[in-house]
Structure 1
Amino acid sequence: MNTSRKENYLLIAKEGDSLTEFASELTRHHDDFKAENVVVDLRSFNNASSENILAFLEISNLHRNENKSFVLVNDAVGIDELPDELVVVPTLQEAEDMVQMDEIQRDLGF
């Protein structure tokens, strides 16, 4: 698992493993990054399916319950195929924008 600290989030990426294994690994290591906004780069998984992406629902809910952003980056699956609780965007720039919007909403008390 590769991590890179950005201005207001932690970028996490992984290549090779299945998405389900990657989601499990993130869940096991949640304490390591629970205090940070997280963007998970899944762009290398070109053949991802909605079922694969759903493996991240548990860690996403857990992380967002800590009042932090959790955004997945992948353009292989349409957002209409996923539940609203799971934030998936097609580009890294959109992920950064989502984190910034979440931060503004939290600052305003929403």
Structure 2
Amino acid sequence: MTVTEKPTYTILTDDRTDVRDFALYLENIVPEHYDQKNLVIDLLKYDKLTLEDLVQFLKLSNYQRADKKSFVFVNTGINYDAVPDEMIVVPTIEEAGDVIEMEEIERDLGF
């Protein structure tokens, strides 16, 4: 996994070859090391990502969001209309940063 720190979020990039293995790996590592950070999960290398693949991250997404932290996926291969409401998927890292910025503002305003 490659970790890139930004001022308001951390990008976790998969360097594995299986998205489901990456989801399991993150379930173990995020609560211990990244639970207080807004996270961007870079899945750009999976140009044929399926909804079944993405749902493997749902538990972790709910965990982070329950703790008032952002959890945003970056991927261009998924059908965005099929993504569950509890998950946010955007096509670029820049858009992920924008989403986190908007969520931070909402949290500051008490939403």
| Shorter-chain TM-score range | over 0.9
* 1:69 maps onto 2:64 in alignment: no
Q: What is the CA distance between 1:15 and its match in structure 2?
A: 2.6
Q: What TM-score do the two structures reach when normalised by structure 2? A: 0.95
Residue by residue, what CA displacement relative to the aligned partner does 1:60-105 show, whole Å, maximum 9, x if unpaired?
0011111100000001012211111011111111100000000000
AA matched with 1:2 = T
Partner of 1:54: 55
Listed as ranges, the matches of 1:1-110 within 5 Å are 1-30=1-30, 31-110=32-111
Unaligned stretches of 5+ residues in structure 2 = none
Secondary structure of 2:57's match? helix
Q: What TM-score do the two structures reach when normalised by structure 1? A: 0.96
Q: What is the CA distance between 1:18 and its match in structure 2?
A: 1.1
Unaligned stretches of 5+ residues in structure 1 = none
- The alignment yields a C-alpha RMSD, in angstroms, of 0.8
AA matched with 1:100 = E
2: CA distance between counterparts of 1:84 and 1:37? 18
Secondary structure of 1:3's match? strand
Secondary structure of 2:104's match? helix
1: CA distance between counterparts of 2:6 and 2:87? 22
AA matched with 1:8 = T
Is contact 2:16-2:22 (8 Å) kept? no
AA matched with 1:10 = T
Task: Spell out structure 1 runs of 4+ moving beyond 6 A.
Answer: none
